[in-house]
Amino acid sequence: MFRTKHQVFILAVFVAFIVNTTGFAASQDVTPQTEQKVRQLFESWHARYEKRDIDGIFELLDPNCEEPPKGILKPALQRAFERDEPLGIEYNLQSITAYGRKIAVQVSSVKSIGGKKQDQRHILYILKPHDGRLLINAFYEQLDPNNFDSHTGVYTSSKGKFTLTIPQGWVPLKGPWLLRSLTPDSVTILAPDLESKVMMGLIQVPMKLGPDDTTTAQKAVETDSALVKRESSEYIICEQGPASLGEMKGYKLIAHAKLKDTKTEHKIMRAYFSDTPMLYFFVCDAVGPGKFDSLLPRFETIITSFNLSPVDEKLTRQEAVAAQQAEGAVVGRVYSSKEFNCFIAAPAGWEIRTSPNPAHLVEMQYTKGKSIARLIAAKGLQPTDKLNDIFTGRLEAVKGIVQNFSESSRQEVTIHETPAIESIHRYYLQGLGQFDVKEVTLIRDGTYYLILCQCIEPDDFTVLKKDFDRIIESFGFIQ
């Protein structure tokens, strides 16, 4: 084991997790010379953190590094390096394994603050030779072992209450960095080539996008397909049409794409399935020419293994999710949760209900239009998690998937003696239209809260702004 102590700055987007012991197929031991190169790479990687050298860090990334996206990584580094508080890091290289020309490295680190160990982190790095140098091609956050049974091959989501069966030789990891703050229950399933993957997640669609679930799924697929097309120098749709998964209706689109930044060839199958108002999406990405056909049976195996947890026949899916979470209830116009120590109320003209989205607590629907408001919360934050980092990281993720983003206001506010950040911004989302958003983000006692108010055209933000203010002002803590 390689082990050393440093005073380093680590990415703010990393969060605590426990190492997953699953391995890939067809692994090989590395030579002593290769092992030495790996150790030298990581010594250089961490030394550049100490110097806060962003350009130097990027020199260690393979030109074709796509995960995390460099547009997400750079601002995360900038936020981390703006702080002037060195953190003690003890880290070690847990395993170094070769898979053809690529090398998988499991790295763990423990942060110490004031001499006390605060959280443990485990990252899977994929290394690849480029122009005679060993560089970082990608890195992923590994799963909590409670989410994956390596004996049965079954992945169980933390909040969404669904399962997937993982093919032998494939490895489940936490979802893409870009989607993490938007769909916390997302998962990446990495193929044995250490490049191709399946990304799966769920979102709540704020409104019906068509007369039926198939049309809703189709418009969502076409929206995401258009985003990829904008980032590609070459984009060709090969096949598209309706699809189904159990009783859910959906839509499938297969396209060839060559990305502008990396020049890498991808053949991507998007399969989205609607269970109103939830949308479950699978993005199956074959990286490199000629791989798609051989990977397609595995892609289909993963998709068809999807299984929502059973619910009581007397309950709706929404009621079942609320019961499973045991996170609160609505009485009259007020939602309260002892578990999350908070309450919030709906103004006149709004319906309030527990959310069918397992990442959310409660939602409100404007009765005269399309607009919505939501209370989102998550526990388990570490002392090192900063309000500004979480707020900015989420906003950067939003910018990555919308068009014409503009922020008209951002200010620090106080909610019941708790520091918060308020933002007013506008963006356009294909298939849904223009959104005018007022949101407030805060952290208290290790819990993250987001009050998200979205005015969706043709609703008028100037009319709804007072209602948004009332919703935010109604939020409070039980004790």
- 325-382 pLDDT, tens digit each: 445 677 888 999 888 899 999 999 999 988 766 667 888 999 999 899 999 888 877 7
DSSP per-residue codes, 216-252: HHHHHHHHHHHHHHHTEEEEEEEEEEEEEETTEEEEE
**Residue found under tokens 């709906």:** 346
Nearest-CA neighbor of 111 among 251, 17, 252, 236?
17
User: What are the two backbone dihedrals, phi and then psi, of residue 282, each rounded to the nearest 5 degrees?
Assistant: -125, 125
Residue 475 pLDDT more than 70?
yes
More confident residue, 232 or 121: 232
Token pair in block for residue 70: 């460099």
CATH topology assigned to domain 144-309? Protein Transport Mog1p; Chain A (3.40.1000)
Q: Is CATH 3.10.450.50 what the domain over 2-142 is classified as, yes or no?
A: yes
Residue 26 pLDDT more than 70?
no
SS3 309: coil
How large a percentage of the chain has pLDDT more than 90?
41
CA 235 distance to own-chain centroid: 25
Q: What is the model's pTM?
A: 0.74
More confident residue, 405 or 7: 405
Domain range annotation of the chain: 2-142, 144-309, 317-477
User: What are the two backbone dihedrals, phi and then psi, of residue 124, each rounded to the nearest 5 degrees?
Assistant: -100, 115
Q: What is the dihedral of CA 325, 328, 330, 334, to 10 degrees?
A: -140
| Most confident listed range (152-156, 168-172, 354-358, 435-439) | 435-439
**Under a CB-based contact definition with an 8 Å cutoff, are residues 109 and 10 in contact?**
yes
pLDDT the model gives residue 115: 57
pLDDT the model gives residue 254: 96
Identity at 72, one-letter amino acid code: I
pLDDT the model gives residue 354: 81
**Under a CB-based contact definition with an 8 Å cutoff, are residues 46 and 6 in contact?**
yes
Mean pLDDT across 70-77 = 82
pLDDT in tens, 397-413: 788 778 899 999 999 99
Asked whether this chain's domains 144-309 and 317-477 adopt the same fold, the reply is yes
pLDDT the model gives residue 181: 63
pLDDT in tens, 419-464: 999 999 999 987 778 999 999 999 999 889 999 999 999 999 999 9
Residue 237 pLDDT more than 90?
yes
pLDDT the model gives residue 310: 55
pLDDT the model gives residue 31: 85
- Specify the CATH number for 317-477; select among 3.60.15.10, 3.90.245.10, 3.40.1000.10, 3.40.800.10: 3.40.1000.10
pLDDT band at residue 116 under the 50/70/90 scheme: low
pLDDT in tens, 251-305: 999 999 998 877 788 999 999 999 877 889 999 999 988 899 999 999 999 999 9
- The rounded mean pLDDT for the chain is 82
pLDDT the model gives residue 127: 94
